[in-house]
Amino acid sequence: MTTIDKKIVSDESRHDYDEVEFVHEANAATQKEHEMTLGRALTAYPKAIMWSVLLSFAVVMEGYDTVG
């Protein structure tokens, strides 16, 4: 193996490790969010909740507009 090949192999193995670590961290974060209570979710994501509520109201009002 040449010096360049060794560098490529070491970079690829580092990349694989980073990818494995990334997947592990993502799975841990997903598990943490799944275990979150409603109260904790309300305090953690207030902007997302308000966006969802406003969008839902807009869809409902659009439905009323087409009926009436």
Separation of alpha carbons 43 and 60, rounded Å? 26
Higher-pLDDT residue of 5, 33: 33
> What pLDDT, on a 0 to 100 scale, did the predictor assign at position 20?
82
For 9-43, how does the pLDDT look when each residue is reduced to its tens digit (9 = 90+)? 555 555 566 888 888 999 999 999 999 999 999 99
Q: Domain map of the chain by residue range?
A: 3-67
- Whole-model pTM: value is 0.53
Two tokens, residue 53: 């509520």
Q: Rounded distance, CA 26 to CA 34, Å? A: 12
